[in-house]
Chains A and B, each alone.
Chain A
Amino acid sequence: MAKAKVLGMMGDFAVAEAAKLCNPDVIAAYPITPQTIIVERLAEFVADGELDCDYICVESEHSAMSACFGASAAGARVYTATASQGLALMIEIVYITASARFPVVMTIANRALSGPINIHCDHSDAMLARDSGWIQLFAEDCQEAYDSTIQAFRIAEDKQVSLPVINCLDGFVLSHSIEPVEILEPTEEETLDGFLPIRDPLYKLDVDAPIAQGLLALPEFYMEIKRGQQEAHLRSLDVIKEVIQDFGDRWGRYWPVVEPYQMDDAEVAVVTIGSSTGTGRAAVDELRAEGKKVGLVKLRCFRPFPVKDIQAALKNAGAVGVCDRAVSFGSTGPAYADTAGAMVGRSGPLIKNFIIGLGGKDITIDTFRAMYDNLYADLAKGEVEEPVEWIGIRGE
C-alpha cells in the first residue's frame, strides 16, 4: 500500500477520500452544514464511477440511520455523516444501532445544537450521542480526521467490538479548513485489505440461515443484554489501541487514545478534545518559553473513556483544567465529569472544568493563557474555588 502524496484539502474532503478508500457497500446520508461536503463528495464519487456503492438519498437523518441499521444488519460496510440537528433527528436509531451491535461509521462535523440556531463548532451534538453506545473519536486536525475514518471501519467491524463508531471533526475549523493531508493510494497488488479486510459480520440477515434481530427484551432479558453491550464497549479500548498501533506501524502516524504533551514536569495542565488541541500546544510552547511548566493532555477517544490512560497522564500534575465545548445544563461539562470520576479516590491534581468555545466562540492562545493563569491561581491557594468556569465570554 503506497504511502501517497500530500494534498491540500479541507477536512470534509479528506474524510470523503478516506471513506471512499474503505469502499463502503452502502452510504445513506442527508446533507447538513458543516458535513454536507462529505456526502456531496461521496455522491460525486459514486456518480463518476469511482466508488461502487449503494448511495441512498434519504428524506431525513432518521431515515439515513434507519437505512444504515438495515444495511449493517445485512452484513454491509456502512457509512454516513451528520451534524447538529441532523444527529438530533436520527438519535432514536443511533441508540438502537449500538444496542444491536451493528457496525456503522458515522462522521460528525461538530456543530452546536440549536437553540439559538448556530452553524459553528462545539461538541454539544456529539455529546447528545454520548450515552448512545457508539465509540467516539475526536480529531485534532484534517490528517487525523482522514486516518481516523480508516481506523474507524476496522474498529467497528472487529468481531470482538462489533459496534458503531462516531468520528468527530470540528465543524468549519477542520471541516472547511485546508490543510496538508497525506492520503494513501492503493495499487493493484497492494490494496487496503491487509489493514481493513472485507467485513465478516458476527451475524447477518440470510434467508438460508434466518435469525431475528432488533427484538423486544422485557425485564428478564433487557439488563443482561445491556450488561453485554457495556462489556463489549469497555473491551473495545484494547482493540482501538491495537488498530492505532497497526495503522502507525504501516503508515507512520500514531494517534493515541490519550496523548500527553509536555506533561513530564507540568505543574498545571489542560485536557482538550478536538481542534483546540493544536492551539493548546502552541500556547504550551509559548508559556514554556516564558519558563512556565504547563502541559496538555489530548483526549482522542471519548467513548470508551480511557480511564487508566487519563489517570497515568494526569497523576503528576498539580492542577488540571478539563476543557469542554459542551455543557450538561444544571451540571458540568461532560469530559470534566468523566475525568474527575476517573481520578476519584486517588492522590492527584486539583481538577476543574473550563467551558470554552460554545457555538464557535474563538479559542485562541489567549484563551489557553487565561486557563493556565486560572489554574496557577488555584494551585497557589491549594484548592479549587469555582469548579466550573466559562472562559472567554463577555461579562465574566
Chain B
Amino acid sequence: MTIQDEYRKKGWKDLPPGGIVDRPATARDYKTGTWRAFRPIRNKDKKICQNPEACLVCWILCPDAAIIRVEPNELEIDLDYCKGCGVCALECPLKAIEMEQE
C-alpha cells in the first residue's frame, strides 16, 4: 500500500500535524498520471523508434521523465506518471505518437 493510500484512510485527527509525510522518498508513490486528460498512444506501425537512428526527442523533452528507454532504442510510456501534456506527440518528427482522450 502506498503512503497515499494509507493516508487516504485516515480522518483529519489521525493525519500527521502540519501536512508532513513521516518517511522519505514517497514521491514515486504519487501517481501523477491520474491527472491526465489525454493519453499518448504510440503508433506501432511507425517502426523508426526501434531503429538505431531513433531520435529520442520525446525522451529528451518529456517533462515528467515518463518516456522510458527499456532498450537503447526501445521506448515505453510510463502511464503512472505521464500527465498527458502532449509535448511528445507535438514534437515527434514522424508523428508516431497521438493523443487520445481518456
A contact residues vs B (CB 8 Å cutoff)? 99-102, 162, 202-203, 210-213, 215, 217, 220-221, 223-225, 227-229, 231-232
Q: Is the CB of A203 within 8 A of B8?
A: no
Q: Is the CB of B21 within 8 A of A212?
A: yes
Q: Tell me the complex Cα distance, A275–B32, Å.
A: 53
Q: Tell me the complex Cα distance, A229–B25, Å.
A: 25
B10 nearest CB neighbor, chain A only: A224
Chain A residues with Cβ below 8 Å from B10 are: 224
Q: How large is the interface on B (under 10, 10 to 19, 20 to 34, 35 or more residues)?
A: 10 to 19
Q: Tell me the complex Cα distance, A24–B46, Å.
A: 65
Chain A residues with Cβ below 8 Å from B20 are: 100, 203, 211-213, 215
Q: Is the CB of B11 within 8 A of A224?
A: yes
A227 nearest CB neighbor, chain B only: B12
Contact of A102 among B15, B18, B21, B25 (CB under 8 A): B18
Q: Is the CB of B19 within 8 A of A99?
A: yes
Q: Is the CB of A162 within 8 A of B17?
A: yes
Q: Tell me the complex Cα distance, A203–B24, Å.
A: 13
Q: Is the CB of B24 within 8 A of A225?
A: no
15 A/B residue pairs, CB under 8 Å, sorted by A: A162-B17, A162-B18, A203-B18, A203-B22, A210-B24, A211-B21, A212-B21, A212-B24, A215-B21, A221-B7, A225-B15, A225-B19, A227-B12, A228-B13, A229-B18
Q: Is the CB of A212 within 8 A of B26?
A: yes
Q: A210-B24, A211-B23, A212-B24 are in contact. Are A220 and B18 (CB under 8 A)?
A: no
Q: Is the CB of A101 within 8 A of B18?
A: yes
Q: A220-B8, A227-B12 are in contact. Are A215 and B19 (CB under 8 A)?
A: yes
Contact of B17 among A202, A217, A220, A221 (CB under 8 A): A202
Chain B residues with Cβ below 8 Å from A227 are: 12
* Complex interface residues of chain B between 39 and 81 (CB less than 8 A to chain A): none
Given contacts A100-B18, A212-B21, A225-B19, 19 further A-B contacts (CB under 8 A): A99-B19, A100-B19, A100-B20, A162-B17, A202-B17, A203-B16, A210-B25, A211-B22, A212-B20, A212-B24, A213-B18, A213-B20, A221-B7, A221-B15, A221-B19, A225-B12, A228-B13, A229-B18, A231-B13
Interface of B is mostly: loop
Q: Tell me the complex Cα distance, A228–B17, Å.
A: 7
Shortest Cβ distance from B9 into chain A, in angstroms? 11
10 shortest interchain CB distances as A-B pairs: A101-B18, A210-B24, A224-B12, A212-B21, A227-B12, A225-B19, A100-B18, A101-B17, A213-B20, A228-B12
Chain B residues with Cβ below 8 Å from A229 are: 18
Q: Is the CB of A232 within 8 A of B24?
A: no
Chain A residues with Cβ below 8 Å from B12 are: 223-225, 227-228, 231
Chain B residues with Cβ below 8 Å from A102 are: 18
Q: Tell me the complex Cα distance, A73–B46, Å.
A: 52
Chain B residues with Cβ below 8 Å from A202 are: 17-18
Chain B residues with Cβ below 8 Å from A210 are: 23-25
B21 nearest CB neighbor, chain A only: A212
Give the interface centre of A162, A213, A223 by most chain B CB atoms within 10 Å: A213
Q: Tell me the complex Cα distance, A224–B16, Å.
A: 10
Shortest Cβ distance from B19 into chain A, in angstroms? 4
Q: Tell me the complex Cα distance, A229–B13, Å.
A: 10
Q: Tell me the complex Cα distance, A232–B7, Å.
A: 19
Q: Tell me the complex Cα distance, A221–B14, Å.
A: 12
Q: Tell me the complex Cα distance, A211–B3, Å.
A: 13
Chain A residues with Cβ below 8 Å from B11 are: 224
B18 nearest CB neighbor, chain A only: A101
Contact of A217 among B19, B22, B25 (CB under 8 A): B19
Shortest Cβ distance from B25 into chain A, in angstroms? 8
Q: Tell me the complex Cα distance, A220–B8, Å.
A: 8
Shortest Cβ distance from B31 into chain A, in angstroms? 12
Chain B residues with Cβ below 8 Å from A232 are: 17
Q: Tell me the complex Cα distance, A232–B16, Å.
A: 12
Q: Tell me the complex Cα distance, A217–B16, Å.
A: 13
Chain A residues with Cβ below 8 Å from B22 are: 203, 211
Contact of A224 among B15, B21, B25 (CB under 8 A): B15
Q: Tell me the complex Cα distance, A232–B18, Å.
A: 10
